[in-house]
Structure 1
């Protein structure tokens, strides 16, 4: 029962954070929306910061696992899988884009740059020209941006176009689909 309440709190908080921003969402708004008292909310999360971290942490863990499990190889498959990962966490990405201070939670700014560097090496290898590095940054950043900008569209509409554009930015040859 307790984990169900915790999950409901996180779901309502995520929705409000995405719509209003983290700073503009009070714990009172969250508890009122759930029909629980503020002390009941504090039983599960000691602070708004703890609640935000609990929402962001699954994305962090998924990205870290994804990056750690990748091996150099099929760049298109990596782009495809990376897009799906970002799509699953698009609400958290929206929270971060809407309110950049969210990047301070779990030191996300530095971690995101590190993940991107690791993914670029997996995509193109460790010896990159400046042009390749810039193209890879555009490819990965553009795909992440598409998960936010086009979150209202179906995955099967956005993903093929975003992955193809990323592959084009990287200079990967098109393959028949």
Structure 2
């Protein structure tokens, strides 16, 4: 039987860890739990990840990089058509929905990785692109409802096809901005 490549093993560890973090919560999942589910020893995990925190960071870092790159790209491309901006934001949130769900369900993830601060910053950048730098209170509220509702739909609704969900969520977000 061919020996597994290190990258494959690392990816399997990440997949099982994400499953267990989602099922049990971050604080309730130990490296022993992950090793047991994989059928390997705990030292075998340490070969790939120095700690549970290192493993969690490896899961979340690609999402952080994607959101950072997205925010920078949108600012550089400004002005961006509103529906296009809302649609691309939906796509990004949907892509990382499992990790975002984990962070929402287990607030320790938000705190441990300082994700709450990052999400607030990303949303503020998008809000500014949607409504400018000196919006009225009404526009601020509409933009918050649009972005927050859009991402909540992308992350929390999973019983409809993604294309149908995307259309409904982008339409609702656009409508909430009060644009004609």
TM-score, shorter chain, exceeding 0.5: yes
Asked whether 1:164 is paired with 2:168, we answer: no
Distance 1:129 1:40 in 2: 56
Tell me how far apart the structure 1 counterparts of residues 106 and 90 of structure 2 sit (CA, whole Å). 22
Matches of 1:149 and 1:130, distance apart in 2: 27
5+ residue gaps, structure 1, are: none
Question: Which has the larger displacement, 36-45 or 142-151?
Answer: 142-151
Cα RMSD of the aligned pairs, angstroms, is 1.2
**1:24 to partner: Cα distance:** 1.7
The question of 1:55 aligning with 2:62 is answered: no
Supply the distance in 1 between the matched residues of 2:86 and 2:116 (Cα, whole angstroms).
21
Aligned counterpart for 1:123 among listed residues 123, 127, 130: 130
The corresponding residue for 1:72 is 79
Contact 2:145 2:176 survives alignment (8 Å): yes
Q: Which of 112, 123, 127 in structure 2 is aligned with 1:105? A: 112
How far apart are the structure 2 equivalents of 1:44 and 1:30? 13
**What is the CA distance between 1:152 and its match in structure 2?**
4.1
Spell out the pairing of 1:38-53 with structure 2 (5 A cutoff). Answer: 38-53=42-57
Is 1:5 matched with 2:9?
A: yes
Change in Cα spacing, 1:20 to 1:148, as seen in structure 2 (3 Å) is farther
Q: Which residue does the alignment assign to 1:143?
A: 150
SS at match of 1:39: helix
Relative to the length of structure 1, the TM-score reads: 0.93
Q: Distance in 2 between matches of 1:19 and 1:137?
A: 30
CA distance in 2, matches of 1:101, 1:147: 22
Deviation of the 1:138 alpha carbon: 1.1
Structure 2 unaligned regions, length at least 5: none
**TM-score normalised per structure 2:** 0.91
CA gap of 1:88–1:117, structure 2 versus 1, over 3 A, is: same
